[in-house]
Structure 1
Amino acid sequence: MDQPQKTFRRVVTGHDAEGKAIIISDAPPVHTQLIGGPGGPTFFEVWHTLEAPALIHAQPQEPDENGLMLSPPKKGTRMRVIEFPPEGEEIRKLTGTDAAAKFSAMGDEKASTSAAGAPHPLMHRTQTVDYGIVLEGEITLVLDRGEATIYTGDIVVQCGTNHAWANRSGKICRMAFILVDGQFTDEIS
């Protein structure tokens, strides 16, 4: 199995007292969390906003949050990078209770839709529009009916659908995600 890649930089900009653009911070993301122990994905929380339109402060502060949260704040956005290690037997053998516990560790146990006969044990759904960009490697997007393998440079627009990510490549896959809070219409249950 490949080792995780070097952590990336997060450059945050702002304004000085004269209103000129400056760099506020230039460092790796502050909040990083391994989910589920060895063999689980690593989440790098980049930034989130609390509302739309987002308030733009002269000196932006690190967004404060208690622990990892799967979805963005209500009416907000979230950006994260996830490193998915190759999927092993331990993932394929997860029960519904195990899957719910993994999503609970991500702050949203209710997102888990794991059930007997599901196409993947880590199926989940959130009321969000997610833009997923493969930065390195490849991964398979698993849906209720169908799947697609996406490669470096490919982009997924995930519109509140039930899904899972399966890394069947044997190498780490690194993806960037931008999540936008959403709401299902009456036609979607």
Structure 2
Amino acid sequence: MSSAGAKGLRLCKRYITTHNSAGKSIYADSPAQVYNYNPGFGGMARSYSVGSVPAVLTADADVEAYRSDDAVTSYKRRDIVLPQPGSNLVVVDLEPGASSQMHQTVSIDYSICVIGEIDHELDGGEVVRLYPGDHVIQRGTMHRWTNASKDKPARFVACSLPCEPFDVGGKMLKEVHLPREKKAKL
């Protein structure tokens, strides 16, 4: 684990709000984001996570779980998708030219390009190039992320929510992570 993202990108700041004893909104103390760094790819940091939707915010239970070292919603964990019924917000940094492996999760993901140009590739071969502000709504999608630049880092932010498994081409949706060099078979 590291406190650094992809070289050349400033670390994200994350602000969590709560309430003081008078009921006024305030910023809570937050641990530094932990980037799980993979050389040649980049890194991912969990910005926030809750164990249920709707979230239980009573007595800052969600904040305390996020700050903990071992809760399923801990800021130190690297899960992309939480078990139902939670949600996850992650920041993903891509080094120049880096690609993820082709992967699929049992989730609906809202992914937004915020820095750089990122190619979003589907297992059927279709590719769209995302520019800052462009976003993809993924629904149990087999996909790969690639930084389109060979000399500048890129970043996207994603919110993942678990979904019910459903039939995809005669098979029930399940989490899959293919080796980096291979593409999914249609």
TM-score normalised by structure 1 residue count: 0.73
- Give the Cα–Cα distance (whole angstroms) in 2 for the partners of residues 8 and 123 of structure 1: 26
* 3-state secondary structure, aligned to 2:52: coil
Query: Kindly, what percent of the aligned residue pairs are identical?
Result: 26
Opposite residue 27 of structure 2, the aligned amino acid is I
Q: CA deviation at 1:159?
A: 0.8
Structure 1 residues 187 and 140: alpha-carbon distance in aligned structure 2, compared to 1, 3 A threshold: closer
- Give the Cα–Cα distance (whole angstroms) in 2 for the partners of residues 9 and 122 of structure 1: 27
Answer yes or no: is the 8 Å Cα contact 1:77–1:179 preserved in 2.
Answer: yes
Which position in structure 2 is the counterpart of 1:173?
Answer: 154
Q: Does 1:7 align with 2:20?
A: no
- Give the Cα–Cα distance (whole angstroms) in 2 for the partners of residues 62 and 10 of structure 1: 16
Q: Does 1:67 align with 2:77?
A: yes
- Give the Cα–Cα distance (whole angstroms) in 1 for the partners of residues 30 and 55 of structure 2: 21
- Give the Cα–Cα distance (whole angstroms) in 2 for the partners of residues 87 and 134 of structure 1: 15
- Give the Cα–Cα distance (whole angstroms) in 2 for the partners of residues 12 and 62 of structure 1: 13
Opposite residue 75 of structure 1, the aligned amino acid is P
Answer yes or no: is the 8 Å Cα contact 1:14–1:58 preserved in 2.
Answer: no
Answer yes or no: is the 8 Å Cα contact 2:80–2:160 preserved in 1.
Answer: no
- Give the Cα–Cα distance (whole angstroms) in 2 for the partners of residues 138 and 160 of structure 1: 23
Q: Does 1:127 align with 2:131?
A: no
Q: Does 1:144 align with 2:123?
A: yes
Q: CA deviation at 1:41?
A: 1.8
Opposite residue 97 of structure 2, the aligned amino acid is E
Structure 1 residues 135 and 27: alpha-carbon distance in aligned structure 2, compared to 1, 3 A threshold: farther
Q: CA deviation at 1:127?
A: 0.6
1:84-111 C-alpha deviation (Å, 9 max, x unpaired):
11236xx6xxxxxxxxxxxxxxxxxxxx
TM-score normalised by structure 2 residue count: 0.74
Which position in structure 2 is the counterpart of 1:48?
Answer: 49
1:107-143 C-alpha deviation (Å, 9 max, x unpaired):
xxxxxxxxxxxxxx81111010111111100111110
Opposite residue 34 of structure 1, the aligned amino acid is Y
Answer yes or no: is the 8 Å Cα contact 1:4–1:83 preserved in 2.
Answer: no
Answer yes or no: is the 8 Å Cα contact 2:45–2:78 preserved in 1.
Answer: no
Q: CA deviation at 1:39?
A: 1.6
**Cα RMSD (Å):** 2.2
